């Protein structure tokens, strides 16, 4: 597991979006929220804000399950800007996931 640099960790900590699970909407008062590196590139976890996702501990324990993994990729890619999507050649994956799950709402709650 790659550590999140202090400067980035401070940015995440200040962002209210990182205080609740990006899938269930659970908050820190309801369950422990962990930050998940969702993108691996060239064998390493990428330390960029768009691909680090807040997850309830109980969901984080299941992050390798197909539906959860797809939902996490959908959220992550919708958070990335166009240049990032192109840099990592993820246009087709984003299109496929948007067709499957629809429009992403940053404050939505999704049944798992």
Split the chain (112 residues) into runs of 10 and give each run's mean pLDDT.
Answer: 89 95 93 95 93 95 93 97 95 97 87 73
| pLDDT of 86 | 95
- The residue extents of the domains of the chain are 6-98
| pLDDT of 2 | 77
Instruction: Give 10-61 as a DSSP string.
Output: HHHHH-GGGGB-TTT--BTTTS-EEEEE--EETTEE---GGGEEEEEHHHHT
């Amino acid at each position: 597991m790659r550590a999140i640099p202090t400067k980035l960790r401070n940015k995440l900590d200040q962002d209210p979006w990182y205080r609740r699970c990006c899938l269930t909407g659970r908050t820190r008062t309801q369950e422990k929220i962990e930050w998940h590196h969702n993108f691996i590139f060239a064998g390493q976890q990428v330390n960029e804000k768009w691909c680090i996702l807040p997850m309830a501990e109980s969901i984080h324990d299941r992050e390798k399950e197909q539906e959860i993994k797809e939902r996490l990729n959908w959220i992550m890619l919708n958070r990335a800007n166009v240049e990032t999507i192109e840099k990592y050649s993820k246009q087709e994956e984003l299109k496929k996931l948007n067709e499957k799950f629809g429009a992403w709402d940053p404050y939505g709650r999704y049944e798992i």
